[in-house]
Structure 1
Amino acid sequence: MVMVHGGCHGAWQWANLQGWFAGRGWDSVAFDWFSHGKSRTLPPHEWVRREIISVREEIDIACDEAGARPVLMGHSMGGLASLNYAATTQRDLAAVVLLAPVVPRQYALNPIEIEVDPERPWNPPDPETARMLFYSGVDDETAAALYPKLQAESPAAVWQATRWTAEVNVATVRAPVLVVAAENDVLTPAEYVLALAEGLGAEHILLPGVGHGVTLDPGWPQLAERIDAWLSSVL
């Protein structure tokens, strides 16, 4: 498996799912985007203009490491990056799993009104707002531990994620796709995510009562089981 994190996050967000799938015999690669975590740092003028779809470069490197026919799994901005990669690569992907993904332009309606300065990194909001946006289902102790792990994001990526500006030809995706939407998601609304699933002709899951942070929500083991069952049905 190749796991692609979301905006303001890093490879750390996959720890739960990596451990769970390892217990079922899956090897996985979870990586940091450039200018995130332990990955290489881009020049500031380049990073602030880097859109989500540019993460296909890092995905390609990770897929090379993973070997033949990887399962590609992405969350949020990483979901859009994964979708774009699946639509444009010549690599043979075994399957694609999109968790609360940012959607291409044709599947969204209204922008998410977040202030973005195109010349400055977009910093994570205050702890309570960050909790509401990124991991609304966790307890106080977990929220306090997660907040310091968040990092600034490219304003170009945030703009693309909140104004739905990406263009992706989903008709060119060749691998089977599972799309996961979250009922209480305020960043990638479930109706947009389900519209993407319909456009892809993909199987979908709607998680009731869950917010955007599906990899961190306490219900992640049940989500992992459903992903595993779907993978067993298509591989």
Structure 2
Amino acid sequence: MSEKTPILFLHGAFSGPEVWTRFVAPWFAARGHPVAAPRLADPYVTRPERLRDYVRKAVDAVDAMGAPPVVIGYSLGGLVAQHLAVRRRVAGLALVASPGPGGLGPSFWQLSAGAPDVIGALLFAQAGGGASLGVEAARRALFTEATPAEWIRDIMQPVTRESPLALLDGLTWDLPPWYLMRRVPVLGLLGDSDAFVPVSDLWATTLAYGAETEVMRGFGHGLPIDPRWKALAWRLNAWMDERRIDASNRQHSAAS
């Protein structure tokens, strides 16, 4: 059995696990960490899924890992991760470009005020036009002006539809009960050019969880698929080392 702590990667809305499995998850796997990246949204269900359905899939993934993992949630996956950390013991929680415990409301207001064109692109994708969204729409939503167009073309996946009920839950009805979460190491990371998540969500994450937070310069919302994704991977790795998460997990396993 690996002595490295397992890592569970949770993807965001309008996307799939590829946001992690393209670069960051294999990077950690090559360093000996067991990794998993489940698909949270099922495109073949006949009814719209709820946020709690995504949380249930994340819980199932944790139960299959055999030891408490570090959970790294991106965007909406960070909201799922906060719910998960209430329901299962985790070794640590990293929230990457993630809403805080207040849910999607601050992101909605930031998009409305600063990037209404991104809202338009997401509505177009929700109507089935995701495959026809171009480089500039992706740049505006996920990257920065400095990101080469060739990189965006190579990395782009068709934008998938998202369950409107899951988004509504994350906006209003199903916010994380942060006051019930066990005290574990928490890291919050946000790009300084994130079109979706305001920096106030980092402050809320610090207040709710005692999180260490950082604004990463030169990044948009799409940190895991940015040309400089290794900066994200190294930052996550450094946090795990600084918090001695592998050592703590080994001690817990021995005590069990």
Which of 150, 175, 184 aligns to 1:167? It is: 175
2 CA distance for matches of 1:102 and 1:205? 14
**Residue deviations 1:180-208, cap 9 Å, x none?**
11111111122323332232111112101
**1:105 aligned residue:** 102
Q: Please report the TM-score for the alignment, with normalisation by the length of structure 1.
A: 0.83
Give yes or no for contact 1:75–1:98 (8 Å, CA) kept in 2.
yes
Q: How does 1:70-89 map to 2 (within 5 A)?
A: 70-87=69-86, 89=87
**1:20 aligned residue:** 27
Closer, same or farther in 2 for the Cα pair 1:155/1:146, shift >3 Å? Answer: farther
- The count of aligned residue pairs is 222
Equivalent residue of 2:41, what SS?
coil
**1:180 aligned residue:** 189
Aligned-CA RMSD value: 2.6
**2:204 aligned residue:** 195
Q: Which amino acid aligns with 2:154?
A: A
**2:235 matches 1:229:** no
Q: How does 1:17-166 map to 2 (within 5 A)?
A: 17-36=24-43, 41-43=44-46, 46-47=47-48, 50-87=49-86, 89=87, 91-105=88-102, 109=106, 111=109, 112-113=111-112, 114=119, 124=130, 126-127=133-134, 128-136=136-144, 138-159=147-168, 163=171, 166=174
1 CA distance for matches of 2:199 and 2:229? 17
Q: Which amino acid aligns with 1:187?
A: F
1 CA distance for matches of 2:236 and 2:8? 14
Closer, same or farther in 2 for the Cα pair 1:33/1:16, shift >3 Å? Answer: same
Closer, same or farther in 2 for the Cα pair 1:195/1:104, shift >3 Å? Answer: closer
Q: Which amino acid aligns with 2:45?
A: L
Closer, same or farther in 2 for the Cα pair 1:106/1:24, shift >3 Å? Answer: closer
Give yes or no for contact 2:96–2:188 (8 Å, CA) kept in 1.
yes
Percent identical residues: 26
2 CA distance for matches of 1:122 and 1:165? 26
**2:16 matches 1:10:** yes
Unaligned runs of 5+ in 1: none
Structure with the higher helix share, 1 or 2: 2
Greater gyration radius: 2
Q: Please report the TM-score for the alignment, with normalisation by the length of structure 2.
A: 0.76
Unaligned runs of 5+ in 2: 1-6, 113-118, 246-256
